Amino acid sequence: MTKDDSAVPRSQALFARAKAVSPGGVNSPVRAFRAVGGTPRFMASSSGAFLTDVDGNRYVDLVSSWGPMLLGHAHPEVIAAVNQTVSRGTSFGTPSEPEVLLAEEIVARTPVEEVRLVSSGTEATMSAIRLARGFTGRDLIIKFAGCYHGHVDALLAEAGSGLVTLGLPGTPGVPKDVAAATVVLPYNDRAAVEAAFAEYGDQVACLITEAAAGNMGAVPPLPGFNAFLADICSKNGALFISDEVMTGFRVSRSGHWGLDGAVEGWKPDLLTFGKVMGGGFPAAAFGGRADIMEHLAPVGPVYQAGTLSGNPVATTAGLTTLRLANDEVYARLDHTAAQIGSMASEALTAEGVEHLVQGAGNLFSIFWGVDEAVTSFAQAQKQESHRYGAFFHAMLEAGVYLPPSAFEAWFVSAAHDDQALNIIAAALPAAARAAAEAQPDSAPTIQ
Ligand code: PLP
């Protein structure tokens, strides 16, 4: 290594090497800093509310691995349970006890009667729509613009998350026939849903929605919207799939359904889960009515399988996380999210930046240059997202790691304490000033 090389931050050097061997230097597009510019930080370790990068910089983490780290990083009880399990072997390719315990915990917390474990949220939604098609004998799927359900062919049209971050309306590689079997509607728009069912009612296999949208920024369902969806699906013989990959076990012990369906007295036919239920390992699930789930192989004809599904290490991490996620944890998450949201709002107001902090349970995000509630993807896209890059980098410099996109939710953990909140509070005034000064034409420098 030359003298000059040694002055290059290790994140930058690793990113250059990563780009030589993988597309864009990342293994998932949202990790790249494309929307905000600069070099992604390569993390080396994590603990509680903090991440530490390979250059030794420490950050308060407001991404929480995009949701899973509900209890904070490297929670001692999760790590101990994982270590104990790992020492007995990492994968058997047979049923094992932790997967039964995790399935029982999911059934106890949610409206699902039976559950199938998989390894990613994408697998969960992909399998749920296959099951819905197999069960109903119909092909059409309804989804909402701005909702992201993983990188499933049929579900990528007008999706949120990385697609909106990168400005992609869809993706090449999805066969026309597959895209044609997906009807995309505006979120929170009852009239559009009614019109779609009036036109295609007897062809619709399922309607899938995020239980509360978190992938176009945080956009909650309008009061009664999910109940309306459950009802109209039922009247038309279509299945209602509530995607709780992001909200499940995060916004309440029973996910978003705990905030609406459990109170209002309705249930989705199928639900999908991921993130928190894996405790930081690849575990996800789909589940629902027993009569539907029994259409899955080996009982029924709809095929679905996975070499590592129900992996003992992943299910142990998830089970330990869920067992620790009690009412106190959820109260703490709600409180912390509200505190950070109002701290950010105060700082932005002080600098005269028009904005809206919007929440869906304890998921929240900031909409820039917006003065009324955002209820749809079209509205979310109109925000002044150019302000976010400047805000993001000022926060990063001051030791706060935010999602590298204005269209992603912020995730808190139960480990965010006064120390973490003080660092955020100290970072906000300069970041708000940077957001105020940002110009629309200040495009991020893509590395
Ligand atoms: N569904 C929702 C609501 C999500 O937010 C995500 C990922 O962010 C997925 C599905 C896909 O999950 P995964 O990234 O584990 O495939």
Tens-place pLDDT, residues 132-172: 999 999 999 999 999 999 999 989 888 777 777 776 667 78
Q: Give the pLDDT of residue 6.
A: 64
Q: Is the pLDDT of residue 319 over 80?
A: yes
Amino acid 130: pLDDT: 98
d(CA 133, CA 356): 39
User: How far is the centre of ligand 1, averaged over its atoms, from the C-alpha of 150 (Å)?
Assistant: 5
Mean of pLDDT values over 287-296:
98
pLDDT tens, position by position, 418-432: 999 999 999 999 999
* Residue-level pLDDT at 177: 87
pLDDT, residue 2, reads 40
Report the pLDDT value the prediction gives residue 161, as an integer from 0 to 100: 76
Residues of the chain above pLDDT 90, percent: 89
The predicted pLDDT at position 235 comes to: 98
pLDDT digits (tens, 9 = 90+) for 363-417: 999 999 998 999 999 999 999 999 999 999 999 999 999 999 999 999 999 999 9
Q: Is 274 in the pocket of ligand 1 (CB under 6 A)?
A: yes
Q: Per-residue pLDDT averaged across 54-80, rounded?
A: 98
Question: Where are the domains positioned within the chain?
Answer: 10-62+326-442, 77-324
**CATH architecture, range 77-324:** 3-Layer(aba) Sandwich (3.40)
Share above pLDDT 70 across residues of the chain, in percent, rounded to a whole number: 97
Residue 143 designated active-site: no
Question: What pLDDT is stored for residue 170 in this prediction?
Answer: 72
Closest atom of ligand 1 to 210 CA is 3
pLDDT beyond 60 at 190 = yes
Position 444 scores a pLDDT of 62
- Dig out the tokens for 39 from the structure: 């070099």
Given pLDDT bands bounded at 50, 70 and 90, which one contains residue 447?
low
Residue 215 pLDDT:
96
Ligand 1 centroid, distance to 117 Cα (angstroms): 15
User: Average pLDDT, stretch 331-359?
Assistant: 98
| Per-residue confidence (pLDDT) for residue 174, from 0 to 100 | 87
C-alpha neighbours within 13 Å on the C-beta side of residue 115: 27
Q: Which band of pLDDT confidence, cut at 50, 70 and 90, is reported for residue 309?
A: very high
Is residue 153 annotated as part of the catalytic site, yes or no? Answer: no
Please check the confidence at residue 4 and state whether its pLDDT lies above 60: no
Please determine, for residue 274, whether its predicted confidence score (pLDDT) is greater than 80.
yes
**434 CA distance to ligand 1 middle (Å):** 31
pLDDT score at 118: 98
Write down the pLDDT at residue 185. 96
Q: What is the pLDDT of residue 176?
A: 85
Q: Which of 53, 61, 189, 243 is catalytic?
A: 243
- Look at residue 5 in the predicted model and tell me its pLDDT: 53
Please determine, for residue 200, whether its predicted confidence score (pLDDT) is greater than 70.
yes
Which ligand 1 atom lies nearest to the CA of residue 66? 8
441 in active site: no
**Taking the model in full, what pTM does it have?**
0.96
Average pLDDT score over residue span 95-110: 98
Tell me what pLDDT residue 3 has.
Answer: 44
The pLDDT value given to residue 442: 66
At residue 42, the pLDDT reads: 98
Distance 38 CA to ligand 1 centre (A): 25
What's the average model confidence in pLDDT over 267-294? Answer: 98
Note the pLDDT tens digit of each residue in 12-61.
999 999 999 999 999 999 899 999 999 999 999 999 999 999 999 999 99
Nearest CA to ligand 1 atom 7: 150
pLDDT category at 1 given cuts 50, 70, 90 is: very low
Architecture in CATH for domain 10-62+326-442? Alpha-Beta Complex (3.90)
